[in-house]
Amino acid sequence: MTDLEDKLSHVLSGAAHRAPQAPVGLLATVKTRHRRRRARTAAVRAAVAVVLVAGGVGTAVSGLGASAEPQPAVSATGEAEPPPDKIPPPVEKVWPQAVHKIPARLPDGRAYYPQLLLDDRTLLVMTSANDGKRQFLWSYDLGTGRPRKIAEIPPTKGSAIFADDVAAGGGNIVWWASYKEAGSPRVARIWTVPAAGGRPRPVTDVPLGNVMKQGHIDGLTVTGSDVVFAYEKGGVYRVPLSGGSPQPVKGAERHHILQWPWVGVHHGKSVFRELLNVETGERRDAVLKADEEVRCGVDRCAGVAVRYETVKVERPRDRSGKEIKCGTRRCPDTVQIQTILRRFVRDRDGSHERDLPSTFQKGDDAGLERFFKVMLTGPGNQPVLTLYDVDTGRSADLGVRPGGKEAMAIPDGGLDRLMTYPIKDEMYVLDLAAIK
């Protein structure tokens, strides 16, 4: 075997007997939300890879073909800890004009979920039906701290998924909920209500088919007198707010909605590399190199340059010569090594490239294509979530820390201006558009 193969074989054999200790940040359970701030949360599972130290550089190894990024150099047992990073000042000190702190519950004690900003000072929130109470839309005045009830989310018979994917425009609010009534196929029912308040009414029912394979709908947007949406498997549709049958948007039969009227396709690890403006016909294709994996916005792309190497290894055996099983799966014949060469953000035409911090996570949307969430290591190896402004190079500590059982609440992601997250009994509301 080569020197590298020998090291890999030893690492895999040792891992069968003792699992290496990874930094706290890797073990944390991360909770996040959909970019449209869904009323329900989703758990993002972080896989801990075996870390191999070769030449002073940590290289993550995956035996199942799922790559992992290199981590700070540590011993095979994880005993060595990297020195803590320099933590920036709190976000309210760095960008005070962007930060609003409001109670994390409504005056009646109910929890709520921020959805979007209706204007510079009005936050749209939704209460949940998880506590057995009825579900409502509210507007929350960030200046006075006063909530105002807009409408009750219509209850339904049969199997329903909570209201989802809230959007607003032109004085109207829309959302959808997935319903399965007896004897009928599952549908995504789109609802609307005036932002000023009123009684919600259904817009249309969107056939869903097999949601386990094909997904639901996403990208819900109000544009003029229409609602547009896309299937999670691809395909953009339009329906009048007044009601009717959804019609496919010409030229966007396989596309997803990035930011209306811009739609694009997903090509493996290059997400939204190709964009189409369905109103003007303009196309924007990002300039990429062969070794780059990116997620693009309308104007910029952020991603990593990677090098992959597949190495054949021997299956470890015990003293009797029998193959050792690696957990619930057998040890692989080959492992794939992924080395991150650089992390970057640049304009779609390839200009103005800048490096991103080493802990930038590819695939995470940047607020306004400018603000990136970056995880640092604080005292005691505690993860500290910061917000990095690529335009100015400034960073701020968001104040988010691990909670019970190493859970860490990650602020809502997305390309828009709003970022929200609770800390104890306060809700932090960040309006990124207020940062100049």
Q: What pLDDT score does 24 carry?
A: 36
Q: What pLDDT score does 161 carry?
A: 62
Q: What pLDDT score does 45 carry?
A: 27
Cα 90 from chain centroid (whole Å): 23
Residues of the chain short of pLDDT 50, as ranges, are: 1-77
* pTM (predicted TM-score): 0.80
Q: What pLDDT score does 414 carry?
A: 78
Using DSSP bridges, classify how beta strands 292-296 and 270-277 pair: parallel, antiparallel or unpaired.
parallel
Alpha helices per DSSP H over 28-101: 91-94
- pLDDT, one tens digit per residue, over 114-144 is 999 999 999 999 997 665 568 899 999 999 9
Q: Give Cα separations from 309 to 150, 182, 337 (angstroms).
A: 56, 52, 5
Query: With contact defined as beta carbons under 8 Å apart, do 415 and 297 qualify?
Result: yes
- pLDDT, one tens digit per residue, over 395-419 is 999 999 887 555 666 776 678 999 9
Q: Give Cα separations from 109 to 61, 106, 112, 271 (angstroms).
A: 48, 5, 9, 41
Q: What pLDDT score does 318 carry?
A: 72
User: Would you state the structure tokens that stand for residue 120, as one six-digit string?
Assistant: 């510079």
